[in-house]
Amino acid sequence: MFEKLDVIDSAPFDLLLLANPSKELLLKHLESGECFVYKNNFEVLGCYILKEINKNRVELLDIAVRENKQGLGIGKKMLSHLFNYVKKSGYTEIIVGTGNSSIGQIAFYQKAGFRMFEIDFNFFERNYSKDIYENGILCRDMIRFLKRV
């Protein structure tokens, strides 16, 4: 079951920090976007934050699934919910960004029909005080993907 949160304080920060290690940036995302949670038997298993860019485009800012629930199709369910919500809301494009070192996420978005369209060089060096390593790779650049719905 999906639920749109109305109060920032009710956002699952422990889960969102899996997607974005900066609580400061998460708060900005929650203030400017909409947060949706996916629950099963009242347990929050996943969530995402969506922000309007303009009348045609939205950005998926953060998306996360509980670590012990990953690989069960929850991320796909959340993207399906997102695609339906975006379509019903009248938007035609979704963008999402992930780090150059986020190999699993890069594959996840491409399998869902997103296409690479932009690289924001040194994004993570500009926006995070600590180095981020994933898969033995320093995360420096933001790779942005686009999907038309």
What's the rounded Cα separation, in Å, for the pair 18 and 5?
18
Helix (H, G, I), strand (E, B) or coil at 31: helix
pLDDT in tens, the chain (149 residues): 999 998 888 999 999 999 998 889 999 999 999 999 999 999 999 999 999 999 999 999 999 999 999 999 999 999 999 999 999 999 999 999 999 999 999 999 999 999 999 999 999 999 999 999 999 999 999 999 999 99
Assessment of whether the complete model's pTM goes beyond 0.85: yes
Handedness of CA 118, 124, 126, 127 (dihedral sign): positive
**Per-residue pLDDT at 102:** 96
What's the rounded Cα separation, in Å, for the pair 74 and 40?
10
**Per-residue pLDDT at 9:** 87
Rg of the chain in Å (alpha carbons): 15
Handedness of CA 67, 71, 77, 79 (dihedral sign): positive
- CATH 3.40.630.30 assigned to domain 2-148? The reply is yes
